[in-house]
Structure formats: C-alpha cells, structure tokens
Amino acid sequence: MSRDPMNSPGEASAEPALFSPELAMRLCASAVGIVTILIGLWLALTLFGMIAEGLRTPEAFAETWKQWAAIVGGDGLKFKIGDQEAAFAPAVSVAAVGMGLCLLVWLSLGVMLTGAKIVAWASGEREAVKRILRYAFGPTAKRP
C-alpha cells in the first residue's frame, strides 16, 4: 500500500470535486449568457430583415409611411416656399422611424453584448486570456 507523502495518515486526499456548487453556478450563468446572446441575435436579425425588406419593396410600407406622416403633423407641416407648397411630414416621419430603428438595433446589439459579458464573467478565464495576449504581443506591449 503506497502512502501519499502530501497527506497525513488519517487525512483524505484533496482532489477537486468533479461537480461543485461553484461550477454549477458558472454553468447556469453561462447558459443564461448564451440564451441572452441568442435573443439579441434574433432581435438584430429580425430588425435587419425588416430594414432590408423595406429597402427591397418600399411599396409594401406605403400605408405605414402615410400613417406616420399623419401622426407627426400631416397637412399641418406644409410650408409655402415661393409659389410651391412643400410637405415636411414625410421627411419628419422617415427621420422618426429611422431614429427608432437605430435605437432598436442599438438595444438588440446591447443585449448581445450583455450576454457575451455574462459568459466572459462566468467563465473565469480572464487570467488565461491575459496570459495568452501577453505571450502573443510580448511583455513590452502597452497595457491600458
């Protein structure tokens, strides 16, 4: 019978447990992060698809643009310039919808970034990544 020199005679070996509560929490957090990334990806792809569809077939959204033009001012945003009348409601509605789409795309990409940060924090491998980067770029690389 061989004796482990690191342990005293009555002591159990200090092998790490195969499944610990910390590991379970990290796995759960990583799963939440991955689901969050997938939700953000789905939102971004849906929005980009809607934008692409609007660019390919603008006539399909003609009624939507008319409704938005009526909401932002309709005929009240017509100005007389010389002998002609210019309607600014369509331009304002395009700007409002465009800003809304930009905000929604920014938020969906933010959801993906949040999921990625959750996965990064849960993995606990930041030190390993730092060592790899230090090895790749050398010890003289400027650190932030």
Domain-embedded: residue 15? no
Domain-embedded: residue 127? no
Domain-embedded: residue 131? no
Break the chain down into helix, strand, coil percent, rounded to 5: 70, 5, 25
Q: Global pTM?
A: 0.63
Secondary structure (3-state) at 81: strand
Cα separation, 33 vs 23, whole angstroms: 15
Instruction: Look at the chain and report how many structural domains it folds into.
Output: 1
- Report yes or no: 77 and 92 within 8 Å, Cβ to Cβ: yes
Domain-embedded: residue 79? yes
In which domain, by residue range, is 93 found? 39-53+63-116
Give me the tens of pLDDT residue by residue for the chain, a chain 144 residues long.
Answer: 454 444 445 555 555 567 788 888 888 988 999 999 999 999 999 999 988 998 899 888 888 888 888 888 877 777 888 888 888 888 888 888 889 989 999 999 999 999 999 888 887 776 666 777 777 777 765 655
In terms of residues, how long is the chain? 144
Domain-embedded: residue 99? yes
Query: At 90, which helix (H) or strand (E)?
Result: helix 89-123
